[in-house]
Amino acid sequence: MRKIQFFLIAMLCGIMLTACDNDKNLRLEENSSDFVNITDVVPDVILEIRYYGTYNFVGTRIDGYLQPVALLTREAADSLKAVSDDVMTQGYRLKIYDAYRPQCAVDHFVRWSQDPADTCMKQFFYPMLDKPVLFEQNYIMAKSGHTRGSTVDLTLFDMQTEKEVDMGGTFDWFGVESHPDYCGNPDTKLYPEIGKYTGDDNGITEQQFRNRMILRDAMLRHGFKPLDSEWWHFTLRKEPYPDTYFEFPVKQL
């Protein structure tokens, strides 16, 4: 028994040391020279930078957001311009909620998650979940792809109705309803996908699923990859800084 216990402890320590070594290999960078203001590259984009304001899951302005602007690496912004041109031919514009996110903002999220008394925005963003599970279910992480500079959170804006397209859920909703495959299959476009979320009273409609697919397909056509837990989240497949986490604040460049 003691040998087994010793083996398990040694294995756990090895895992922890490996994690620490990986963190040491992460590069923190303050140089913003390869970043651009998205509106300089994609002038038709609409901005609603949620973390600059107070309507977000924390309920206050997030550290590091000094101005309501959106930044991306040049490569990601160029690809997003192609997406914008694509959806505009279909009658839509892109609306961005968040793009580059400094590490201090991620640290702010982590501190918030560790305060069980702060639940002022629970009813709007995570009514079915308690804060302690947000980490284990990967809704909040100590490291974010946004901090590498080539990830964007966005939706579609209908130029005819002059309203956001109905995606059947809001940005930063913590729950299965935000999954791209909720009630449908993004690969086959089958709705509903039999045996998955069927019978859920809170399921999205076929039109809402189709709307999500319009955005998803356009992003995939122009070099972005999706996240399996958020319909609004996409990262450039060939991101220029896959191992670099940036620290400079969000402000006009």
Q: For residues 99 and 106, what is the distance between their CA atoms, to the nearest angstrom?
A: 13
User: Which residues are CB-neighbours of 106 under 8 A, at least 6 positions away?
Assistant: 141, 142, 143, 144, 146, 147
Cis preceding-peptide flag for 249 (omega within 30 of 0): no
Q: For residues 158 and 177, what is the distance between their CA atoms, to the nearest angstrom?
A: 22
CA 139 remoteness from chain centre: 9
> Does the annotation mark 164 as catalytic?
no
**For the residues of 195-226, what is the DSSP string, one character each?**
TSSTT-TTPPPHHHHHHHHHHHHHHHHTTEEE
User: In the structure encoding, which two tokens stand for residue 136, read together?
Assistant: 């284990």
> Which is catalytic among the residues 75, 230, 239, 247?
230
Q: For residues 24 and 2, what is the distance between their CA atoms, to the nearest angstrom?
A: 33
Backbone angles phi, psi at 112, to 5 degrees: -60, -40
Q: For residues 62 and 125, what is the distance between their CA atoms, to the nearest angstrom?
A: 16
Nearest to 211 by CA among 174, 253, 169: 169
> Could you give the residue numbers annotated as active site?
230
